[in-house]
Every structure is written in structure tokens, then in C-alpha cells.
Structure 1
Amino acid sequence: ALLDPEEEPTLENALSKWWPINLHLIGKDILRFHAIYWPAMLMSAGLPLPGRIFGHGFLTKDGKKMGKSLGNTLDPIALVNQYGADAIRFYFLKEIEFGQDGDYNQTRFINTVNANLANDLGNLLNRTLKMAHKYFNGCVPNVKGEEIPPEDALKFLGVTLADTVTQAYDSLAFSEVCTAIFTLIQAGNKYIDEKAPWSLYKQGKQQEVSQVLYSVLESVRLAAYLLSPIIPNISTRIYQQLGYTLDFNDQTILATALSFDLHAVWGALPANQPLAEAQPVFKRLEDTEGASS
């Protein structure tokens, strides 16, 4: 597992690049072998131990144990081919607390993904981009993050979000990551409804419109950045519509182009940056299984 296929399978080669690993991820049913026997073998061989061992739970389908006899097994490759990797990753990491047992239910999967990725996140970006094109010639409003007052509802949530999310990622608490980020996204939808920038524009309150749209666009950007380990394709589409050229699947570019301190800070979206046309970042899923049943 530590070697590329063309490499000679020797202990020296196996240890040369990837060992020691920082995380040893196993099923909870083999905990004894990997938390007692395997470390003992490594210690007796004078080799370093993994940084930590994490035992994940079991997965059921519709509340039942999966098995060939029941014919209720899940094919992960088929799921990804049908629904896309982002949707699959998001559902399992958001809905199942990592380390606990979890269940896959088709209807709940469709509803969860559509509600969060298509409705909450996708629609918020789409409607805000359209207003930016209509009111600000397709550019980020001429506002800087530091000009938004600290009591602004979205800025108040956004300034501490990166720290919260970083701690959750470090703890492998992926469901907490998603919950924290979508608290900001859902607040963004409420914020834009309450502020009604279309009404402010008709009243000639251009500066207020600028601040409202900037706060929403910046909150979506920050959410996309912090979600990029889970939904890199959707995050890339969001970033590109916000005028960036980054691809979150390109690890080489990420290593050189991104400064975590810069992109993780609320208020990093440049004023006057040209925006792309609004396009759906996530197409709503259809429950073909539910429809057929």
C-alpha cells in the first residue's frame, strides 16, 4: 500500500516516502489487530508507530446490515458514477458522525444533498451573482472586508469560522465541519431575504446594496474554500464564478497558489473583481430509485 505499482516491494522502499503515517484508519471490528498486535510488531522491528489510530463504524442500508444474500449491498463506484463524488462524500461525511455506525437511505441522501448543495449553497450564489451583474456590472462591489462592520450578521459568523472548522478537521469531526459551514450559508439566505438588496437598490441606497452583496459573496467564497476537501468540484465552480482560476483538485496549484491564512479569513474577496456569469454549481439529483419503487 505504501508503494507505487512499478516499485520493488522491499521494506526499504516501503519506508522511504510514506512511513510513518500520521493516521491509521481501520474498521472497528479489527481494532485489536491494528491497535495492539501491529504496533507491537512495529516496535519489535524498531520502526516508528502511526501518529494515531482511528476506528470507523459500520454502514447499513435502510437500517439493515448489508449482505449478498439480502441483495442490498452498495456499490460505491456505481454511486459515484450516478451522482458524482462530491454528493457522495458530502452525504457520508455530513450525515454520519465519523467513527459511529451510519445508515444509507436513498431518499434521505437525495433530500440532504439537494437541500444543502443545490438549495442552500447553489441558489444563494446564483441569486447573488445575478444581482451583482445587474447592479455592479458583473463585478464584486467596491467594498473591502474590513469596511463591513463587525456586528454584520455574516461577518460575525465568518471571522471565527476557519478556526472552528480547522479544529473539527483535525479531530476528524467532518459532520461538525459541514454543520458549522452551513450555519453560515443558511444565515446568508436569511440575511439576503431580510436585507432585500433589490428594495435598497430601488431606494437609491447603493452603499448598503454594496455591503449586503459583498457580505453574501464573501461568505459563499469562504464556505467553498473550507468545504473544498469534501466537495472540491463544487468549490472549484464557485471560486471560478467568483473570478478566481483555482482548481481545488490540482494539488500542485494548491501548494503554490493558496495561502491558508489569506483564503481562510473572512473578507478576502477582492473588491471590483470581475465575476463570471451565474451557472448552477450543483444540479439537483432525481430519486430514480424512489420513483421506480
Structure 2
Amino acid sequence: MYVWFDALAVYLTGVESPGDRQGSPWPPNIQVMGKDIVRFHALYLPAMLLAIGKPLSHTLLAHAHWTAQQRKMSKSIGNVADPFDAMELWGVDAVHFYMARVGGRFKDDVDETRSLLGNFFLRITSRTIRKRVASAPQLTFAQLLDQSLDGPNGGVLPMLRTLKARVERYVEKFEVGEALDAIILVLREANGALTHTAPWSPQNPPAVAQESYLLSLEVLQVTGVCLQPFIPEAACNLLDALGVREGERSLDFAGVGKADVGEVRGMKLFEEKKMAALQPGQ
């Protein structure tokens, strides 16, 4: 798939030259442009292309603006934010996450979230819970699926089963922020279920810890696969920590019970300074 971002090369000089070479990126599957220049690229440029017998873009995607003090960012004004400075400070994943979560809604302007992933992973892989799980009758996730999950855990599984389809549907419509929200909603539900079931509590039998542990690992595996386009470094760290094989990390394995969790290793997915970039209001 070719995605053509608006630039000088998109005009006829940029279309004509590469069009004579084999493997030309023109026409693009998606032509991305700012909302203020839609008229030029949706009317004038297609008319020119048709006049010289060149193919049209397959899809036009007009995005809203990032603003500063309610004004469109402009090099001439100087009210711009440097993404390279942000990546140097917070890391690529943190900036990637923020851009997708906050700016991945192309319809509305964004004027300059907490990730549940790292916290949820550290909670379920704590030494206390793993010790209690080890004392419970050994159970696989496939065997767990044959049981009826009650209480808070019962609400997590249906959301997890439909996550892949929801993410794919949003991405196909270029609703990146909504796709990421769908993933975060599942993590929030699973994190809440973990709090309510309290598998670390000695007042609950080890079987409760076993159920929460297996379900939570499956949530992490599925969401980890889905998060790879958004926070590739952290998602890779997570899947490594879960022992998920390299060949089971594509979206085909984002369904419940599709991939196997191997030997789980406790680890921090984000550095502290990078986690701070994912906090609300940052």
C-alpha cells in the first residue's frame, strides 16, 4: 500500500516523473492532506491528472490541524512543536502513543493518557499472585474457556473476543484514536476486574488467582498484538515478557486462544520518564 502525504512532489512534476518508472508510487492508495487544501487536491489536481491521462488517487484523507494557542502551527509564525525533541525526551513509543490517541481523530483540531498496560502487567505478574497460582490446581487457558466465568471476569472475555474486529473496523475507516481507545477499554475492564477479584488476597482461594492470572495473560497477549502499530517497542517488550513466539504476533493471532503464552517474565515495559508522557493532561 502506498500512502502519499501532501508535498510539492504531489503536483504534476511529482506525478509525471515517477510515473514513467516501473514500481512508481503513483497513484497512492491513500493521499493524505490538510483540511485547508482539500479543494486543490480534490478538484484541481484530479482535473489536471484526467487531462493528461494519469490515474487518480484511490482515497483522499483530509486531516484536521494541530494547533498552538488555538492557532494553526506554522513555521512562519514559529508556534511549532518539534517531534524529534519530544522523542529524544520521552522516547518514540510515548510520542507515537500520544499522537495516535489524541491526534488520531482526523475530523477535529487538536490543541497542544495514562497507559494501563505497564501497571496491569506488573500487577498480574507480581510475586504474590504467581506464588498463589503455583499452589492452585494447574489449569490451561483452553480449560478455563470451558468453564463459566462469573463476576467481573465474566465481563472481560466478551470484550476481548470482539477486540480484533473492532480495531480492524476503526483502522479501515482511518479512525486511529478510536482503535486505540477500544484496546484501552479492554485493558481498563481487565484491570478493574483484577481489582475486584483481588487474586493476591489470602481470603480468596488459589483457584481465583489462577482464573484471574490466566485471563489477564490472555488480555495482555491479545492487546499486545493489537498495540504493535501504536507502541511497537513496548508491545514487543510485552510479547517478549509473555513468551509469545515471533510467528504468533500478527493480527491473525489477536483472537482469544489463538496464540500461546510461554514462560512469563516480570519486567518494566516503559521507563519511568516515558510513562510520564502517557499521563492524562500531558
The bucket for the TM-score relative to the shorter chain is 0.7 to 0.9
Match of 1:275 in 2: 264
Amino acid at match of 1:122: G
Match of 1:43 in 2: 50
Match of 1:161 in 2: 163
Match of 1:99 in 2: 107
Superposed CA deviations along residues 125-161 of structure 1, whole A, max 9, x for unmatched, are 0121225643456xx9632263353662211110111
Distance 1:59 1:141 in 2: 50
Match of 1:240 in 2: 240
Distance 1:206 1:17, change over 3 A: farther
Contact 1:148 1:155 in 2 (8 A): no
The equivalences for 1:171-190 within 5 A come to 171-190=173-192
Distance 1:185 1:10, change over 3 A: closer
Instruction: Give the structure-2-normalised TM-score.
Output: 0.79
Distance 1:197 1:69 in 2: 57
Match of 1:147 in 2: 146
Q: 1:260 aligns with which of 230, 251, 267?
A: 251
Q: Shift of the alpha carbon at 1:220?
A: 1.6
Distance 1:257 1:266, change over 3 A: closer
Amino acid at match of 1:243: G
Cα RMSD for the two superposed structures? 2.9
Match of 1:107 in 2: none
Gaps of 5+ in 1: 4-8, 105-111, 247-255, 289-293
Q: 1:26 aligns with which of 33, 41, 51?
A: 33
| Percent identity between the two aligned chains | 27
Secondary structure at the counterpart of residue 197 of structure 1? coil
The equivalences for 1:117-132 within 5 A come to 117=115, 120-131=116-127
Superposed CA deviations along residues 34-59 of structure 1, whole A, max 9, x for unmatched, are 11122222223333221210111111
Distance 1:141 1:163, change over 3 A: same
Distance 1:204 1:26, change over 3 A: closer
Distance 1:70 1:177, change over 3 A: same
Superposed CA deviations along residues 39-88 of structure 1, whole A, max 9, x for unmatched, are 22222333322121011111112434435676532111111111112111
Range with bigger deviation, 204-213 or 21-30: 204-213
Q: Shift of the alpha carbon at 1:234?
A: 1.0
Gaps of 5+ in 2: 10-16, 278-282
